[in-house]
């Protein structure tokens, strides 16, 4: 062995090897189920990852950690653990009002005479039915029916749409689609960067910023206005389940500081706090996170997004044949997948931070892993841990008992799994219910 051979100090533990331990034979690229937990390395900061126009403002507000989302640095913590951490941020969200830097929701503009026809071809829902100055939660699928992205789609004009992206780079795909289709549109990322205003006092704060007209804005409605002399589009949307809004700032690289300062100043009267996106609250609302709860190999029917696949959309769209075939197979009792996303209530000590791994799920206390947790957190309102996760279709019924293998930090006893039960989602009522919740209230099947 050479003296400088790095393999000299290289060892592998069977428990941490990156080898999936749950049957995922229906996937081409299995989810990594044997990660090694927190990674004790210094992450390199370089020019391959972008900083948003609000990045320095987040740092000034106390941001102490970040992840990478859409190839941009994404603030993921302002209150340090020794001061209460994410649960302090959660309290501000559910009781007052909060400001989030979500510039990572890159805005992809589709503009031109055939914008509606192009957008209709790449989303599963009917884009032609979206009126100007309204938004919709939508999904885009590949030809196999896998979910490529689940953005909020804003129709800001008759001939102009903005895709407010989740964590997958959609612009290149949209441009590639149009190479062959040649719709009369232009497809570009634009200099628009959103922030979110979330919490029960959000309407009062937004009224101070843009006027009382915002009080009449419906869910997924859009409003054009100005804040501190800057042009904005306001939507009544958000990633929390609380009442909330997003402010889409035009020419954001020029005006970010003016907008941020105006929001902070108006927020003093409403106990505004700058926080990270509250995943503990979005989990309670049953809101999915792309890349965590689904990816390009996930069918909508696996993750409670069947309502996004209309039965009566006459126009062709990418993935239509595969999705209609999958629905037929499901209704015949032969789903074309082995795993289904479910909600779970589970034991253990309060999960008070992001999970660095996909924790494993067993059907029996001492059984082999059959599934994995995607999004766990502690719910103060419910007084226990909640989570989303994938389990075999045969174990997806409400009331099914499972066992979750938590890290010792959260386990009730070291090395021992905790009990879990499959429950309905959302875990608690949302102030801004999504379409799936509204369908459920009407007694309709949102899954298919």
Tokens of 393: 């279709």
Decide which of 204, 235, 270 is a domain's last residue: 270
For the chain, the residue count is 448
Tens of pLDDT, residue by residue over 121-171, are: 999 999 999 999 999 999 999 999 999 999 999 999 999 999 999 999 999
Classify residue 290 by burial, with Cβ atoms within 10 Å: 0-12, 13-18, 19+: buried
Q: In whole angstroms, give the CA distance from residue 242 to residue 244.
A: 6
Determine, yes or no, domain membership for 107. Answer: no
**DSSP H or E run through 254:** helix 252-267
Determine, yes or no, domain membership for 174. Answer: no
Answer with the residue of higher pLDDT: 447 or 412.
412
State residue 253's pLDDT score.
97
Mean pLDDT of 225-240: 97
Q: In whole angstroms, give the CA distance from residue 169 to residue 155.
A: 20
Give Cα 399 to chain centroid, integer Å: 26
**In total, how many domains does the chain have?**
2
Tens of pLDDT, residue by residue over 284-331, are: 999 999 999 999 999 999 999 999 999 999 999 999 999 999 999 999
Determine, yes or no, domain membership for 343. Answer: yes
The sheet with strand 186-189 has its strands ordered as 134-137, 152-157, 160-164, 107-111, 186-189
**DSSP H or E run through 395:** none
Inform me whether the pLDDT recorded for 371 exceeds 90: yes
State residue 36's pLDDT score.
62
Tens of pLDDT, residue by residue over 2-16, are: 444 544 444 444 446
Q: Is 232 helix (H, G, I), strand (E, B) or coil?
A: strand
Mean pLDDT of 362-388: 96
Closest to 194 measured CA to CA, from 158, 149, 239, 243: 239
Range of the domain at 383: 288-441
Mean pLDDT of 395-401: 98
Tokens of 429: 């009522």
Tokens of 406: 């938590």
Kindly state whether residues 311 and 261 are assigned to the same domain: no
Kindly state whether residues 259 and 300 are assigned to the same domain: no
Kindly state whether residues 246 and 320 are assigned to the same domain: no
Determine, yes or no, domain membership for 38. Answer: no
State residue 9's pLDDT score.
47
Kindly state whether residues 266 and 403 are assigned to the same domain: no
- 422: region left, alpha or beta (phi > 0 left; psi from -120 to 50 alpha): beta
Residue with tokens 């441009």: 175
State residue 440's pLDDT score.
52
Q: What is the mean pLDDT of the chain?
A: 92
Decide which of 270, 299, 331 is a domain's last residue: 270
Mean pLDDT of 98-114: 98
Inform me whether the pLDDT recorded for 433 exceeds 90: no
Kindly state whether residues 249 and 313 are assigned to the same domain: no
Kindly state whether residues 206 and 323 are assigned to the same domain: no
Inform me whether the pLDDT recorded for 436 exceeds 80: no
Decide which of 270, 299, 332 is a domain's last residue: 270
Q: In whole angstroms, give the CA distance from residue 268 to residue 209.
A: 12
Give Cα 184 to chain centroid, integer Å: 31
CATH of the domain at 210: 3.30.1360.120
Kindly state whether residues 251 and 295 are assigned to the same domain: no
Q: In whole angstroms, give the CA distance from residue 338 to residue 23.
A: 9
Q: In whole angstroms, give the CA distance from residue 192 to residue 152.
A: 14
Q: Is the pTM of this model over 0.85?
A: yes
Give Cα 5 to chain centroid, integer Å: 42
């Amino acid at each position: 062995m050479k003296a400088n051979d790095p393999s000299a100090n290289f060892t592998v533990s069977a428990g941490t090897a990156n080898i999936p331990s749950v049957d995922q034979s229906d996937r081409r690229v299995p989810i990594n189920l044997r990660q090694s937990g927190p990674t004790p390395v210094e992450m390199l900061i370089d020019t391959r990852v972008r900083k948003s126009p609000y990045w320095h403002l987040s740092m000034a507000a106390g941001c102490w950690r970040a992840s990478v989302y859409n190839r941009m640095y994404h603030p993921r913590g302002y209150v340090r653990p020794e001061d209460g951490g994410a649960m302090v941020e959660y309290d501000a969200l559910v009781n007052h009002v909060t400001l989030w830097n979500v510039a990572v929701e890159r805005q992809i503009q589709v503009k031109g005479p055939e914008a509606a026809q192009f957008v209709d071809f790449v989303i599963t829902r009917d884009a032609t039915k979206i009126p100007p100055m309204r938004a919709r939660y939508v999904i885009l699928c590949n030809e196999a029916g896998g979910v490529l992205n689940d953005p909020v789609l804003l129709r800001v004009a008759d001939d102009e749409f903005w895709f407010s992206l989740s964590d997958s780079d959609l612009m290149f795909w949209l441009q590639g689609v149009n190479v062959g289709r040649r719709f009369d549109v232009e497809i570009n990322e634009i200099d628009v960067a959103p922030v979110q205003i979330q919490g029960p006092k959000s309407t009062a704060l937004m009224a101070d910023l843009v006027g009382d007209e915002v009080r009449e804005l419906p869910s997924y409605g859009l409003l054009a206005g100005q804040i501190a002399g800057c042009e904005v589009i306001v939507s009544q949307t958000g990633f929390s389940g609380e009442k909330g809004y997003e402010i889409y700032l035009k020419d954001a690289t020029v005006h970010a500081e003016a907008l941020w300062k105006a929001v902070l100043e108006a927020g003093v009267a409403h106990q505004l706090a700058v926080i990270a996106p509250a995943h503990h609250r979005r989990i309670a609302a049953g809101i999915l996170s792309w890349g965590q709860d689904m990816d390009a190999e996930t069918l909508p029917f696996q993750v409670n997004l069947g309502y996004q696949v209309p039965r009566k959309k006459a126009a062709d769209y990418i993935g239509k044949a595969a999705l209609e075939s999958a629905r037929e197979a499901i209704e015949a009792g032969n789903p074309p997948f082995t795993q289904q996303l479910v909600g779970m209530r589970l034991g253990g000590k309060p999960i008070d931070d992001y999970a660095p791994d996909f924790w494993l799920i067993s059907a029996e206390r001492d059984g082999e892993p059959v599934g994995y947790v995607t999004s766990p957190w502690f719910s103060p309102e419910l007084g226990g841990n909640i989570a989303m996760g994938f389990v075999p279709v045969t174990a997806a019924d409400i009331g099914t008992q499972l066992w979750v293998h938590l890290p010792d930090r959260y386990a009730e006893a070291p090395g021992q799994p905790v009990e879990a039960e499959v429950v309905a989602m959302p875990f608690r009522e949302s102030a801004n219910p999504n379409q799936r919740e509204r369908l459920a209230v009407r007694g309709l099947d949102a899954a298919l």
